[in-house]
């Protein structure tokens, strides 16, 4: 006997139970067990929704508490900084010169000092005239 038809027969024998299993079954009305499962699932859904609502409310409460704590901390820091500013303004004399003006005066002083040092280092007036001639 040939191997080809034998293997094809074996494949057909193996596939027939699968073909029978895939046949659509006639629709039957819902049984009591399926109805009870639906009601049970609906109850579980309601419970999970109430739990979700409770958890979301707790989360909102925690967020608002954290924000209020941060807000009070910032207010306290703001008050502390205002007090420091008032103390600094009250204790110190008002500044007569800004930083830019101070650097300008320092540069002018250095230039004036350099000019005086240059005049003193050059020597007498006669020596300078000789250099010009």
pLDDT by residue for the chain (133 residues), tens only, comes to: 556 677 777 777 777 776 665 555 544 455 678 888 999 999 999 999 999 999 999 999 888 888 998 999 999 999 999 999 998 888 776 677 888 999 999 999 999 999 999 888 876 655 555 666 5
DSSP string, the chain: --HHHHHHHHHHHHHHHHHHHTSPPPP-PPPHHHHHHHHHHHHHHHHHHHHHHHHHHHHHHHHHHHHHHHHHHHHHHHHHHHHHHHHHHHHSPPPSS-HHHHHHHHHHHHHHHHHHHHHHHH--HHHHHHHH-
- pTM comes to 0.35
């Amino acid at each position: 006997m040939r191997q080809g038809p034998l293997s094809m027969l074996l494949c057909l024998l193996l596939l027939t139970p699968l073909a029978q299993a895939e046949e659509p079954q006639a629709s039957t009305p819902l049984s009591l067990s399926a109805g009870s499962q639906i009601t049970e699932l609906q109850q579980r859904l309601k419970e999970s929704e109430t739990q979700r609502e409770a958890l979301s409310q707790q989360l909102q409460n925690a967020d608002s508490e954290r924000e209020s704590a941060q807000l009070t901390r910032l207010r306290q820091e703001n008050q502390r900084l205002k007090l420091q500013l008032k103390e600094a303004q009250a204790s110190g004399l008002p500044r007569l010169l800004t930083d830019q003006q101070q650097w300008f005066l320092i540069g002018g002083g250095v230039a004036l000092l350099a000019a005086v040092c240059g005049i003193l280092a050059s020597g007498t007036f006669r020596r300078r005239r000789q250099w010009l001639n």
